[in-house]
Amino acid sequence: MIRSMTGYGSASRETEQGRVEVEVRSVNHRHLRVSTRLPPNTDAWEEPIKRRIGERLSRGSVKVRVDVEGAESGAERLELDEDRAAARVRALRRLKEAHGLAGEVDVAAVALGDDLLRERRRVEHDWLDLDDVLELLGAALEETVEMRRREGERLAEDLEGHLGAILEGLDRVEELAPERLEKERNRLLGAASELVDEEDVDTDRVAQEIAHLADKWDVGEELSRARSHVEGFRELVHEAEEEPVGRRMSFLAQELHRELNTTGAKGNDAEISRHVVEMKNELEGIREQVENVE
């Protein structure tokens, strides 16, 4: 069964030193594109993480987030911006002296505003091993793949509906095709009879013209190829899920569109044209869904 490129997964672990969480999000993309958001001083993790993603996913825009939270209390996570505080003290003292202002430069005056305290970002992760991160990444990936599999089942259902409607349209065009030749034959005979006596109508000439039109309007090959593309598409829908098929589906959709266009151009019949338009609408629905197939 096909897989979607839309998925999400996460995994976390609590340790004595802190909490580690790995999150994976994926959406559709023509190729595999991986972006990471990692803790400070862990740039060396990026390539191993991307390699692990490539082992499980073949297409999609994938975002990986690794959060590491230390075990310190919330109060300990805030630190004073010493340089900014010292600069503010100096500025306030200059202001007092320059204008002869009363009062003292105290904590209340210096602490006005919210720019002196900032959250301390933990930059030391010696306690955390890359293998531990990759293990969590593997668990998050399994969740992501499972979600992509479930989404793929939904896509397959929708694609089957569109493909079935196209096959019905092809069958109907095949039924209508001979009727339009019979109509054209009767029209030619009627037109000729208006010009000459009915017994003088050159039926052989009319038969030749109908034979020429039959060859010109023949859509048998187009219908056959269109059915072949639909069946090929169905095979891809139910192929082994580890095999990425999105690009091949896009190609088949393009080929099917070409056959429907030719059928419409050669149809020369309002009813056939209507069915072709309906089939192309179904094909547009297929193209939209294929954009999200891995």
Residue-wise pLDDT tens digits, 199-247: 555 566 656 655 555 555 577 888 999 999 999 999 999 875 567 888 8
pLDDT for 199: 53
User: Averaged over 277-286, what is the pLDDT?
Assistant: 96
User: Averaged over 144-161, what is the pLDDT?
Assistant: 94
What is the topology classification, in CATH, of domain 7-72+125-146? Ribosomal Protein S5; domain 2 (3.30.230)
pLDDT for 278: 96
pLDDT for 73: 37
Grade residue 192 by pLDDT with cuts at 50, 70 and 90.
very low
pLDDT for 260: 95
Residue from 216, 201, 215, 209 nearest 184 by CA: 209
Residues 62 and 145 sit within 8 Å (Cβ to Cβ): no
Q: Provide DSSP, the chain.
A: ---BS-EEEEEEEE-SSEEEEEEEEEE--SSEEEEEE--TT-GGGHHHHHHHHHHH-SSEEEEEEEEEEESS-TGGGEEE-HHHHHHHHHHHHHHHHHHT--S---HHHHT-SS-SEEEPPP---TT--HHHHHHHHHHHHHHHHHHHHHHHHHHHHHHHHHHHHHHHHHHHHHHHHHHHHHHHHHHHHHHHHHHS-GGG--HHHHHHHHHHHHHHH--HHHHHHHHHHHHHHHHHHTS-TTS--HHHHHHHHHHHHHHHHHHHHHH-SHHHHHHHHHHHHHHHHHHHHHTTB-
Q: Is pLDDT of 183 > 90?
A: no
pLDDT for 154: 94
Grade residue 72 by pLDDT with cuts at 50, 70 and 90.
very low
Residues of the chain with pLDDT > 90: what percent? Answer: 47
User: Averaged over 44-52, what is the pLDDT?
Assistant: 95
pLDDT for 230: 96
pLDDT for 123: 46
Residues 192 and 270 sit within 8 Å (Cβ to Cβ): no
- Average pLDDT for the chain: 82
Report domain extents, the chain. 7-72+125-146, 82-115, 147-290
